[in-house]
């Protein structure tokens, strides 16, 4: 086996994450972002208690807010109308929470990539290589990323003429998120609706979220440590979790919307390694003995001595497993959270593929497409697991993003979705007169009703 791969794997022990700083940042960021998006909503006439009417004028609309007139373009008004629709469906507080988390997610993802030098432009978006500079490199070197991010030069010049650093930063940041939508659509859906309208102002200012992230979290905590994404999420929802349990003591039922906050726990690294090495690792080694590979597994347990009749049965199992190729192995985590177990399984699978003689260039795509599967009831967790696996693959392949632009990778991780909103008319439309298909659709609609409450215990028959 390639000694460099073993060396890399054994050197995965890195500095201990400063979880206190991570927790302080994540809990503070949640409060600040919710406040920030709520303030942006207020400035377009939307609050918890009131949604103001608009007056149509020329090529836009105007709104009277506290004796001041606010003007919106037709596009901005369309975004505002979509926001109002969402509030009517989900409630004001739920929508503000969702938008705040969307921006938190993207900020953390971009920070992880810039620190690890994964951004295609290699120019930092949130910070500067020069630690003494307050202005991000993307702002000071904006001309270098005009083509990469398809920036409008007239807008760029306007921000520069107005000395509007924060405005230019927001414009670049949104464009970078949209650019990643072509590579990682699950993590970076195209931002063009009310989410963009509610992106808070002043993120770079002292005491605001981006500034806090850059200055309060050690860059080393991000370097090749994708598990920081999971810790960030656990701490981000920790205050909501506390509230859910406080309400439970008051006999308030935990709703399915709050199940993720109540149940999300980050599995410690040593437990993950123990589980993966003694399941996936053992599966492979039983059929493909490899002393060097086995020694790289810190938590691997040798098989205990068995009675002769048991040993004979085990030998049959080893013989069967010797026929396995790496591409035959399936690892499923039915409650994947932010993907910690799947990420370490990726490392182990990478070693297995190398030991089997595969080209290192081909391995990352093979693992993502053939070996790793995950489910969760939490949409946010689904995004994080997706992102964590892409980042792990990128750590092994510098060409990954370019390859994914030309030939997208379909990961086998997803969040379970509900069928509650589907009507009989919808079923008729999809069946399009096919009675057998209609029966199948009706079955699936029934099974996935309230699916986010039941999660992976849902039993789906083969159709």
Residues in CB range of 340: below 8 A, 6 or more apart: 227, 230, 266, 267, 269, 272, 388
Q: What is the mean pLDDT of residues 425-432?
A: 92
Instruction: Tell me which DSSP letter residue 368 carries.
Output: I
The pTM is what? Answer: 0.85
pLDDT tens for 100-113 read: 999 999 999 999 99
Q: Confidence class of residue 299 from pLDDT cuts 50, 70 and 90?
A: very high
**Tell me, what's the pLDDT at 250?**
75
**pLDDT band at residue 137 under the 50/70/90 scheme:** very high
| Residue 268, both tokens | 């410690």
Tens digit of pLDDT for each residue in 47-101? 999 999 999 988 889 999 888 899 999 989 999 999 999 999 889 999 999 999 9
pLDDT of residue 156: 96
Spell out the residues 6+ positions from residue 201 whose beta carbon is closer than 8 angstroms to its own: 36, 40, 166, 170
The answer on pLDDT for 243 being more than 90 is no
Contacts of 384 (CB under 8 A, 6+ apart): 105, 229, 230, 233, 337, 338, 339
**Is 342 within 8 Å of 350 (Cβ atoms)?**
no
**Residue 53: alpha-carbon gap to chain centroid:** 36
Is the confidence at residue 368, as pLDDT, over 90? yes
Q: Are residues 40 and 247 in contact, defined by beta-carbon separation less than 8 angstroms? A: no
Average per-residue pLDDT in the chain? 89
Q: Is 80 exceeded by the pLDDT of residue 1? A: no
- State the Cα–Cα distance between residues 332 and 231, nearest whole angstrom: 21
Res 310 pLDDT > 90 = no
Two tokens, residue 128: 């500067």
Residue, of 172 and 307, whose pLDDT is higher: 172
How many whole angstroms separate alpha carbon 88 and alpha carbon 414? 27
Q: CA-CA distance, 402 to 420, in Å (whole number)?
A: 38
pLDDT at 329 exceeding the cut of 90: yes
Host H or E run for residue 412: strand 412-415
pLDDT of 224 above 80: no
- Say what the pLDDT of residue 278 is: 96
Give the per-residue pLDDT at 3.
52
pLDDT confidence bin for 391, thresholds 50/70/90: very high
Say what the pLDDT of residue 254 is: 67
Q: Using pLDDT thresholds of 50, 70 and 90, give the confidence band for residue 256.
A: low
């Amino acid at each position: 086996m390639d000694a460099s791969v073993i060396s890399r794997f054994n050197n995965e022990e890195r500095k201990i994450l400063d979880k206190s700083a991570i927790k302080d940042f994540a809990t503070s960021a949640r409060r600040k972002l919710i406040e920030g998006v709520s303030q942006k909503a207020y400035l377009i006439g939307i609050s918890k208690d009131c949604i103001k009417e608009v007056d149509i004028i020329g090529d836009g609309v105007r709104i009277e807010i506290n004796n001041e007139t606010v003007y919106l373009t037709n596009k901005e008004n369309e975004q505002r109308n979509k926001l109002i629709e969402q509030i009517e469906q989900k409630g004001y507080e739920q929508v503000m929470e969702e938008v705040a988390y969307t921006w938190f997610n993207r900020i953390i993802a971009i920070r992880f990539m810039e620190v690890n030098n994964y951004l295609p432009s290699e120019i930092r978006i949130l910070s500067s290589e020069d630690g003494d500079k307050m202005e991000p490199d993307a702002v000071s070197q904006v001309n270098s990323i005009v083509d990469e991010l398809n920036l409008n030069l007239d807008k760029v010049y306007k921000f520069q003429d107005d000395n509007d650093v924060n405005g230019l930063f927001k414009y670049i940041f949104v464009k970078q998120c949209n650019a990643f939508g072509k590579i990682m659509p699950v993590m970076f859906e195209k931002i063009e609706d009310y989410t963009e309208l509610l992106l808070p102002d002043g993120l770079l200012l002292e005491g605001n979220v981006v500034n806090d992230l850059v200055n309060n979290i050690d860059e080393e905590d991000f370097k090749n440590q994708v598990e920081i994404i999971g810790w960030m999420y656990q701490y981000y929802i920790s205050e909501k979790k506390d509230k859910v349990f406080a309400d439970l003591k008051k006999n308030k039922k935990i709703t399915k919307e709050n199940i993720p906050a109540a149940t999300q726990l980050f599995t410690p690294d040593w437990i993950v390694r123990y589980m993966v090495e003694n399941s996936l690792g053992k599966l492979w080694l039983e059929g493909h003995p490899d002393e060097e590979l086995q020694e790289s597994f810190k938590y691997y347990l040798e098989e205990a001595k068995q009675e002769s009749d048991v040993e004979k049965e085990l030998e049959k199992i080893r013989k069967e497993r010797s026929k396995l190729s790496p591409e035959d192995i399936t690892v499923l985590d039915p409650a994947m959270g932010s993907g910690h177990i799947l990420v370490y399984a990726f490392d182990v699978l990478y070693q297995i593929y190398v030991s089997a003689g595969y080209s290192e260039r081909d391995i990352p795509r093979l693992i993502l497409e053939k070996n790793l599967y995950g489910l969760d009831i939490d949409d946010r967790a689904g995004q994080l697991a997706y992102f964590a696996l892409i980042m792990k693959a990128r750590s092994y392949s510098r060409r990954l993003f370019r390859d994914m632009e030309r030939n997208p990778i379909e990961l086998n991780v997803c969040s379970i979705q509900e069928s509650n909103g589907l009507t009989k008319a919808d079923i008729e439309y999809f069946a399009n007169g096919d009675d057998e298909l209609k029966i199948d659709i009706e079955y699936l609609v029934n099974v996935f009703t309230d699916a986010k409450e039941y999660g992976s215990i849902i039993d789906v028959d083969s159709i």
